[in-house]
Homo-oligomer: A and B are copies of this chain.
């Protein structure tokens, strides 16, 4: 476990229901990250947490590809400019793909992307357990990432990019990102869940 956050994070915009584990509420997506040393063992813990996610026929379609210091610039180049601005301070960059074929018979796995989303959640939560943050990104080079990372576009659906790092100071961000640098609120639960009588 590394040093804690450099400032007390303000969760005033979050109103969890009673009984919700703080792990969920205290996961958020800062842009101000610090390029701390993240040991390979820590990354292993993060992606191994994702490994235990559920999937259709236990297919485990998620495929994580992450940067090393040597390849960081290659990964950074696969982000849109607005994300590069802050993600250059991340410790590790990565992309998540979903295998669209069932290993058992090569048929289409219609749940692949959904299941990869579950694995992404697990890795983001486990990162928090280690005192780190994972920030997902849709602003990525959707047309270039497969080739740059050696992934067959026919077989693997690109799901998202992500940055991992320790929390940094909001002052390191340009506006408007600086003003947005706090855990975001949510819609009322009634918009997201209903019981059908």
Contacts and interface: CB of A to CB of B under 8 A. Distances in A.
A177 interface: no
A83 interface: no
A66 interface: yes
A193 B186 CA distance: 31
A195 B117 contact: no
A110 to B, nearest CB: 7
Interface residues of A, number: 76
A154 interface: no
A187 B184 CA distance: 35
Interface string A15-52: 01111110111011100000000001111110111111
Contacts of A121: 53-54, 117-119, 121-122
B193 A138 contact: no
Given A68-B195, A125-B125, 12 more contacts: A24-B50, A24-B122, A25-B52, A48-B189, A51-B187, A54-B136, A57-B138, A62-B192, A63-B192, A63-B193, A117-B121, A118-B118
15 contacts: A16-B49, A16-B52, A17-B41, A18-B45, A20-B45, A21-B129, A24-B52, A50-B192, A51-B187, A65-B193, A65-B194, A75-B196, A113-B114, A114-B160, A117-B117
